[in-house]
């Protein structure tokens, strides 16, 4: 949070930072957009229902969930076990969401020329 505050200050943008547990959210929507970079994939499958209920409750109808998660094509043991193929994303998110695009991506880091493989997914509520 301190790093995020410093970045916002450096860029001269006004941001409200809140800490929340998305599986027991205390946020109050509705929001137009949720960007999840690397959170969904930390949850065990048993938590997917709670995650989906929270993000769909927080988004306004027609709102956008941008999701970046580890790809099933990532094979390195040091990466977390929650890794997804496009068909997994469609199975999990279709219903509460309209999955409109799933692209191969990566968790790019400065100086890393072989970053962990990811999926970038565009979903509308």
- Kindly state the smallest distance separating residue 42's Cβ from ligand SAM, in Å: 5
Complex with ligand SAM: residue 22 or 64, whichever CB lies closer = 22
- Under the criterion CB under 6 A, does residue 122 sit at the interface with ligand SAM? no
3-state secondary structure of 31: strand
Pairwise CA distance, residues 34 & 7, whole Å: 20
Beta bridge partners of 119: 69, 104
Decide if 59 contacts 67 (C-beta within 8 A).
no
Which stretch of DSSP H or E encloses residue 86? helix 86-93
Question: Taking each helix axis from N to C terminus, what angle separates 48-58 and 86-93, rounded to the nearest 10 degrees?
Answer: 70
Q: Tell me the closest approach of the beta carbon of residue 37 to ligand SAM, in angstroms.
A: 4
Residue nearest to ligand SAM (CB): 38
What is the total count of residues that contact ligand SAM (CB under 6 A)?
7
- Smallest gap from Cβ 38 to ligand SAM, in A, equals 3
Q: Does 96 bind ligand SAM (CB under 6 A)?
A: no
DSSP three-state, residue 35: strand
Q: Which of residues 13-72 bind ligand SAM (CB under 6 A)?
A: 21-23, 37-39, 42
The answer to whether residue 85 forms part of the interface with ligand SAM (CB under 6 A) is no
> Using CB under 6 A as the criterion, which residues of the chain lie in contact with ligand SAM when the complex forms?
21-23, 37-39, 42
């Amino acid at each position: 949070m301190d790093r995020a505050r410093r970045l916002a200050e450096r860029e001269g943008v006004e941001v409200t930072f809140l800490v929340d547990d998305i599986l027991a959210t205390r946020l109050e929507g509705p929001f137009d957009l949720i960007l999840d970079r690397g959170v969904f994939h930390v949850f065990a499958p048993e938590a997917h229902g709670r995650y989906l209920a929270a993000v769909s409750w927080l988004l306004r109808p027609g709102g956008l969930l941008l999701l970046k998660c580890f790809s099933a094509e990532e094979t390195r043991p040091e990466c977390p076990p929650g890794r997804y193929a496009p068909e997994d994303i469609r199975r999990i998110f279709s219903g509460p969401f309209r999955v409109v695009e799933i692209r191969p991506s990566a968790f790019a880091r400065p100086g890393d020329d072989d970053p962990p493989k990811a999926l970038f997914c565009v979903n509308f509520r």
